């Protein structure tokens, strides 16, 4: 097995080097358009991996995680907004806030912390529910956050656009956080604890008999997920530079859920794969929406076509591969290499001992 | 009347029935015995079409049932009284019985059958307008049997009718089973209570971990020490 | 206006809104009971019914014909939805079914935006519906009265259906124990189709009443109603028909109550309060009011 682990580590190292290489290339040579997509991809990955922590690994399917993204975005943006802009845009801010202007990292961390606290308090009541009830209740949370954001004018400018956010999100910030999130997600999933959670995710009785404290593990997953989702919110806020409560509602929720489901719930690599696929697909479709010419045929602009196609793809995946493209498992590098090197399918490149 | 030939059934990855072959002739009362998890309920569920065999065949009166739906199988005259009763708690006793006859078109006959069932189990008549959930365990079992009978089945599958019931009720139920048998209903009876089952049955099949390990006329098995070993846990009868 | 008149007016308001929520919640409950499916797309059936009626109205047909047409449209849409999107995934884990309904919603809404444009269109309800009854200072809008009467009629008919007909009893049986229903030889496909058809029919009716009430239709009009219908269903206990009705009326009353009691500064937070109330309810009765009080020991 030592050789197996070494092999996996080697593959991982190659991936990391490739990724860093791609990032450097993007930073130096790629167009602004590609640059934007790569940053956006990082944020999406954080969102999906965080979503996987709660939706993929526990028996709770939360529909409200984007609420935490909103909390993260607004909190961090309020904290980093330059004082002069604060005076202009948020004149009624309480004085202790009006005088604060933080840099990126502290603001993001505070935003994440706030989200975690909210998650803890909300989770105390919600995480004991199950099945459809917890889904509807978390949806309620999303609506509550939306209502608060739209009506708390002093803090959020209500439904008006919140702008003037300093453009702190660089490629490196975004991907730095992404790598951290992936690492933590991976460690949890791979730990004995994580593996047990996934195995019994839909069966509470089995979970309890394995000595898993269901409430505690759910609460932990919920809070961690909230933290990273809020971080993603902060990154996004300082990337897009202006937003409103509408930016954090159902369309975004469906988008992130689609990425998770397509890649495979319960799998960290699946989450990443889903994020990459959907991001690429969305871009292609969005361009197509404006009308393209394929040879002699002119396809006219079709508004909403990308959404329609996405939902059709989603339904197809659920019907034919309900566990996602990776079947809920992590990427098996062995299979990948043997496929790549055109060896006999299924025969691992490195022979490991059969794990019973 | 009913034959299972080399039937293999999988629950996901678990190989629940391994090459099961069983024959039930018309008019017989066949007991299917075995310990918990032997595959007895799985067998009945497969006959009823809830589970589909991976391989093997099921024949009933010349028809191949292997790929038939539960709807069709009930149509062919096979009734099922499931393990754990599964009565409709929020429906009244009367509505439960009506559901047993849901496929029948002969309204008048259905009503007279309901009277007949109530004569078999008078307590059901008393509680006819009560909801199923308010009945005791024994009464629910009687309702489950009555409901299965409402379909006028030619073959009746019964799964552990005595489970969890007081001895007096068990006696009553087995009396009714014997009576039904005498009236010509073919019965495939799954039981853990081997003693009672062997008293009413003609033939017996013994299952262990998904396989049929022994079969034969009841007299032969009653004195067979293997049967004692497998799970009577002591002296038979 | 005296307090009594005010209370009566608000009471009727509450019953009227509650009726609409109840009708929607029942549609959801029927489908959830049998399939364990939370059908988000149920809201879009309201939209389909309304646009169907609108199209016919624009073509000049009398209101009754258009109304019928709208209801037929939503019923067909519901049946199609079941056949195409939900039957293939029957038996899938609950989460998959929930997500699929999400996808169907997005699909339907975007198609509607494509076909009808996102801007709301006026819904020309017949003039007699737009007027009010006056009793001194008391004003009761006719549409409210119609909504209540229609809801009562439909609920009575539905009750008769599920208690007196074989199909209706089969629906209740399948809702309680699908396995036993199959063992009895109940035609499960037929029962499920019936549940969808009835629910969609009622969604069509709600669509008409809703559009007449607010005077317009738009592709996203089903979104908030279905959310409210969920809350109503959950309040009453998912899958329970009487629970859905109870939940619908309770929600109607809760909304009107909050509207009246909340100081104007907090008035926009009404929806948030409703959800908070829901969460508090779920803490004490995790399965809704009519659901069991059994809590899984976590």
> Could you read off the pLDDT of A107-166 as tens digits, one per residue?
999 999 999 999 999 998 888 887 788 888 898 899 999 999 998 888 888 888 998 888
| Range B158-182 average pLDDT | 90
Q: How many C-beta atoms surround the C-beta of residue A5 within 10 A?
A: 10
Report CB contact under 8 Å: C106, A127: no
C122: left (phi over 0), alpha (psi -120 to 50) or beta: beta
The conformation of residue A191, written as its DSSP 8-state character, comes to S
Question: Mean pLDDT across chain A, nearest whole number?
Answer: 82
**Alpha-carbon separation of residue C142 from C127, C133, C139, C212 (angstroms):** 10, 6, 9, 11
Angle A114-A117-A123 from CA coordinates, rounded to 5° = 135
Report CB contact under 8 Å: C169, B147: no
Closest-CA distance, A304 to chain C, in angstroms, reads 6
Strand B155-159 versus strand B186-191 pairing type: parallel
Look at C227 and C45; give whichever has higher pLDDT. C45
How big is the A-C interface in CB pairs under 8 Å?
129
Span B185-207, pLDDT tens digits: 999 999 887 888 888 888 999 88
| Range B199-217 average pLDDT | 87
Q: Which residue has the tokens 């009565």?
A: B87
Of C24, C77, C26, nearest to C205 by C-alpha is C24
Look at C257 and A285; give whichever has higher pLDDT. C257
Query: Which residues does A72 contact at the CB level (< 8 Å), separation at least 6?
Result: A108, A111, A112, A114, A115, A229, A230, A231, A232, A233, A234, A237
List the single residue in C with minimal CA-CA distance to B102.
C186
Q: B13 pLDDT exceeds 90?
A: no
Helix (H) / strand (E) containing A145? helix A131-151
C180 touches chain B (CB under 8 A): yes
Give the one of C271, C278, C298 whose C-beta lies nearest to A215's C-beta: C298
> What pLDDT sits at residue B235?
41
| Chains C+B touching (3+ CB pairs under 8 Å) | yes
Closest-CA distance, B204 to chain C, in angstroms, reads 24
Report CB contact under 8 Å: C269, A151: yes
Q: Which residue has the tokens 């919920």?
A: A222
Angle A195-A197-A202 from CA coordinates, rounded to 5° = 125
Rounded to whole angstroms, how far apart are CA atoms C257 and C246?
16
- Where are the extended beta strands (E) located within B49-185? 55-60, 63-64, 78-81, 155-159
> What pLDDT sits at residue B228?
65
How big is the B-C interface in CB pairs under 8 Å?
59
Closest-CA distance, C167 to chain B, in angstroms, reads 9
Give start and end residues of each alpha helix (H) in chain C.
3-35, 42-58, 63-81, 94-116, 127-130, 142-164, 166-176, 178-183, 188-214, 223-236, 241-261, 270-284
Look at B155 and B36; give whichever has higher pLDDT. B155
Span C44-81, pLDDT tens digits: 999 999 999 999 988 888 888 999 999 999 999 999 99
Question: Mean pLDDT across chain C, nearest whole number?
Answer: 87
Span C106-151, pLDDT tens digits: 889 888 888 888 888 888 877 777 777 777 777 788 888 889 999 9
Strand B211-217 versus strand C216-217 pairing type: unpaired
Q: C292 pLDDT exceeds 80?
A: no
Report CB contact under 8 Å: A308, C111: yes
Query: Which residues does A294 contact at the CB level (< 8 Å), separation at least 6?
Result: none
- Lowest-pLDDT choice from C79-88, C90-99, C202-211: C90-99
Rounded to whole angstroms, how far apart are CA atoms A238 and A246?
17
Span C89-111, pLDDT tens digits: 887 777 788 888 888 998 898 88
Q: How confident is the model at residue A299 (pLDDT cuts 50, 70, 90)?
A: low
* Structure token pair of residue C17: 């809104």
pTM: 0.84
Span A44-81, pLDDT tens digits: 999 999 999 998 888 788 999 999 999 999 999 999 98
> Would you call C148 helix, strand, or coil by DSSP?
helix
Query: Which ipTM value was assigned to this complex?
Result: 0.89
Sign of the alpha-carbon dihedral angle for C26, C32, C38, C41: negative
> What pLDDT sits at residue A222?
93
Percentage of chain B surpassing pLDDT 90?
54
Angle A97-A101-A104 from CA coordinates, rounded to 5° = 125
Q: A350 pLDDT exceeds 50?
A: no
Q: Which residue has the tokens 């004490």?
A: C284
Give the one of C95, C102, C110 whose C-beta lies nearest to A304's C-beta: C110
Q: A303 pLDDT exceeds 50?
A: yes
> What pLDDT sits at residue B140?
94
The conformation of residue A330, written as its DSSP 8-state character, comes to P
Q: B234 pLDDT exceeds 60?
A: no
**Max Cα separation, chain A?**
69
Chains contacting A (3 or more CB pairs within 8 Å): C
Q: Which residue has the tokens 């079409």?
A: B49
Q: List chain C residues with CB under 8 Å of B89.
A: 176
In sequence order, what are the beta bridge partners of B205? B32, B215
Span B23-46, pLDDT tens digits: 999 999 999 988 887 889 999 999
| Range A182-205 average pLDDT | 76
Q: What does the buried/exposed string (b/e) look like for C250-263 if buried means 16 or more CB atoms within 10 Å of the residue's CB? A: bbbbbbbebeeeee
Chain centroid to CA B84: how far? Answer: 11
Rounded to whole angstroms, how far apart are CA atoms C204 and C210?
10
> What pLDDT sits at residue A347?
47
B225 touches chain C (CB under 8 A): no
> What pLDDT sits at residue C156?
94
Site from C93, C95, C247 to mutate, A interface, most A CB atoms within 10 angstroms: C95
C93 touches chain B (CB under 8 A): no
Chain centroid to CA A11: how far? Answer: 24
Span B58-111, pLDDT tens digits: 999 988 989 999 999 999 999 999 998 899 998 999 999 999 999 998 888 999
Percentage of chain C surpassing pLDDT 70?
97
> What pLDDT sits at residue A353?
40
- Lowest-pLDDT choice from B22-31, B213-222, C11-20: B213-222
| Range C3-26 average pLDDT | 89
Report CB contact under 8 Å: C106, A61: no
Rounded to whole angstroms, how far apart are CA atoms C177 and B84?
12
C294 touches chain B (CB under 8 A): no
List the single residue in A with minimal CA-CA distance to C234.
A133
Q: Which residue has the tokens 């069709």?
A: B72
Sign of the alpha-carbon dihedral angle for C139, C141, C146, C152: negative
- A57 near A201, Cβ under 8 Å? yes
**Listing from the earlier edge strand, what are the strands of the sheet with B14-24?**
B14-24, B2-11, B55-60, B63-64
Q: How confident is the model at residue A223 (pLDDT cuts 50, 70, 90)?
A: very high
B98 touches chain C (CB under 8 A): yes
* Structure token pair of residue A62: 């939360």
Closest-CA distance, A147 to chain C, in angstroms, reads 6
> What pLDDT sits at residue B82?
93
Site from C168, C184, C194, C294 to mutate, B interface, most B CB atoms within 10 angstroms: C184
> What pLDDT sits at residue A293?
55
Q: List chain C residues with CB under 8 Å of B74.
A: 183-185
Q: A336 pLDDT exceeds 70?
A: no
| Chains A+B touching (3+ CB pairs under 8 Å) | no
- A138 near A222, Cβ under 8 Å? no
Residues C191/C196/C201/C202 CA torsion (nearest 10 deg): 100
In sequence order, what are the beta bridge partners of B11? B14
Query: Which residues does B74 contact at the CB level (< 8 Å), separation at least 6?
Result: B48, B80, B103, B151, C183, C184, C185
Look at A92 and C157; give whichever has higher pLDDT. C157
Q: How confident is the model at residue A90 (pLDDT cuts 50, 70, 90)?
A: confident
C4 touches chain B (CB under 8 A): no
């Amino acid at each position: 097995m030592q050789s197996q682990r070494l092999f996996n580590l080697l593959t991982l190292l190659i991936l990391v080097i490739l990724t860093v290489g791609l990032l450097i290339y993007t930073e130096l040579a790629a167009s602004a358009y590609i640059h934007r997509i790569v940053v956006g991809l990082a944020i999406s990955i954080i969102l999906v991996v965080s979503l996987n922590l709660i939706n993929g690994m526990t028996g709770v399917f939360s529909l409200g995680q984007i609420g935490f993204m909103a909390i993260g975005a607004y909190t961090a943006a309020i904290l980093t907004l330059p004082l002069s802009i604060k005076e202009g845009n948020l004149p009624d801010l309480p004085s202790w806030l009006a005088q604060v202007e933080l840099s990126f990292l502290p603001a993001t961390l505070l935003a994440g912390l706030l989200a975690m606290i909210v998650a803890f308090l909300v989770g105390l009541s919600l995480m004991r529910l199950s099945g459809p009830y917890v889904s509807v209740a978390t949806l309620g949370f999303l609506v509550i956050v939306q209502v608060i954001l739209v009506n708390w004018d002093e803090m959020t400018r209500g439904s008006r656009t919140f702008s003037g956010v300093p453009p702190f999100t660089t490629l490196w910030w975004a991907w730095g956080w992404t790598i951290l999130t992936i690492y933590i997600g991976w460690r949890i999933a791979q730990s004995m604890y994580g593996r047990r959670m996934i195995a019994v995710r839909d069966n509470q009785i089995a979970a309890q008999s394995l000595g898993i404290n269901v409430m505690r593990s759910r609460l932990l997953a919920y809070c961690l997920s909230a933290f990273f989702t809020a971080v993603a919110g902060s990154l996004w806020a300082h990337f897009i530079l202006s937003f409103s409560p509408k930016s954090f509602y159902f369309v975004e929720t469906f988008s992130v859920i689609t990425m998770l489901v397509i890649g495979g719930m319960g799998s960290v690599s699946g989450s990443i794969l889903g994020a990459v696929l959907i991001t690429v697909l969305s871009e292609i479709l969005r361009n197509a929406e404006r009308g393209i010419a394929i040879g002699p045929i002119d396809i006219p602009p079709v508004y909403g076509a990308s959404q329609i196609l996405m939902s059709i793809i989603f339904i197809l995946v659920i019907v034919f591969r309900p566990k996602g493209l990776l079947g809920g498992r992590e990427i098996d590098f062995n299979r990948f290499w043997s496929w790549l090197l055109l060896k006999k399918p299924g025969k691992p490149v490195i022979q490991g001992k059969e794990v019973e | 009347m009913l034959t299972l030939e080399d039937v293999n059934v999988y629950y996901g990855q678990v190989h629940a029935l391994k090459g099961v072959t069983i024959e039930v002739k018309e008019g017989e009362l066949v007991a299917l015995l075995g310990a918990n998890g032997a595959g007895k309920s799985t067998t009945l569920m497969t006959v009823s079409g809830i589970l589909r065999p991976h391989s093997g065949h099921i024949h009933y009166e010349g028809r191949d049932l292997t790929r038939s739906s539960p709807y069709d199988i009930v149509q062919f005259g096979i009734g099922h009284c499931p393990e754990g009763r599964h009565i409709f708690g929020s429906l009244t006793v009367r509505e439960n019985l009506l559901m047993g006859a849901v496929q029948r078109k002969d309204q008048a006959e259905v009503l007279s059958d309901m009277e007949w069932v109530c004569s078999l189990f008078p307590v059901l008549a008393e509680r006819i307008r009560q909801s199923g959930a308010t009945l005791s365990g024994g009464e629910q079992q009687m309702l489950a049997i009555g409901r299965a009978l409402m379909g006028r089945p030619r073959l009746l599958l019964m799964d552990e009718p005595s489970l969890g019931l007081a001895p007096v009720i068990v006696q009553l139920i087995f009396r009714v089973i014997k009576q039904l048998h005498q009236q010509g209903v073919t019965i495939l009876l799954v039981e853990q209570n081997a003693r009672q089952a062997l008293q009413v049955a003609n033939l017996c099949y013994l299952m262990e971990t998904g396989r049929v390990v022994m079969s034969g006329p009841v007299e032969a098995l009653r004195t067979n020490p293997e049967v004692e070993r497998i799970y009577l846990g002591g002296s038979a009868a | 206006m005296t307090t009594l008149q005010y209370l009566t007016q608000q009471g009727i308001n509450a019953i009227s809104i509650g009726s609409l929520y109840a009708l929607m919640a029942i549609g959801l409950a029927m489908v959830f009971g049998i399939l364990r499916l939370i059908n988000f797309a149920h809201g879009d059936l309201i939209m389909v019914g309304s646009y169907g009626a609108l199209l016919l109205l624009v073509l000049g047909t009398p209101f009754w014909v258009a109304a019928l047409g709208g209801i037929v449209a939503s019923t067909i849409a519901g049946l199609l939805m079941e056949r195409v999107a939900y039957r293939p995934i029957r038996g899938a884990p609950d989460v998959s079914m929930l997500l699929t309904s999400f996808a169907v919603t997005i699909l339907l809404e975007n198609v509607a935006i494509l076909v009808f444009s996102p801007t709301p269109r006026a819904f020309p309800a017949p003039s007699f519906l737009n007027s009010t009854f006056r009793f001194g200072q008391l004003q009761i809008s006719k549409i409210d009265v119609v909504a209540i009467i229609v809801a009562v009629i439909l609920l009575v008919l539905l009750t008769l259906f599920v208690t007196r007909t074989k199909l209706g009893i089969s629906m209740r049986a399948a809702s309680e124990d699908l396995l036993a229903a199959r063992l009895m030889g109940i035609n499960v496909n037929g029962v499920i189709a019936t549940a969808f058809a009835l629910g969609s029919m009622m969604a069509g009716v709600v669509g008409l009443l809703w559009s007449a009430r607010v005077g317009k239709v738009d592709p996203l009009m089903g979104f908030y109603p279905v959310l409210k219908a969920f809350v109503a269903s959950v309040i009453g206990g998912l899958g329970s028909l009487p629970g859905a009705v109870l939940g619908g009326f309770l929600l109607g009353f809760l909304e009107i109550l909050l509207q009246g009691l909340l100081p104007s500064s907090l008035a926009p937070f009404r929806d948030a309060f409703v959800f908070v109330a829901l969460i508090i309810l779920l803490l004490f009765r995790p399965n809704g009011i009519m659901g069991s009080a059994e809590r899984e020991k976590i």
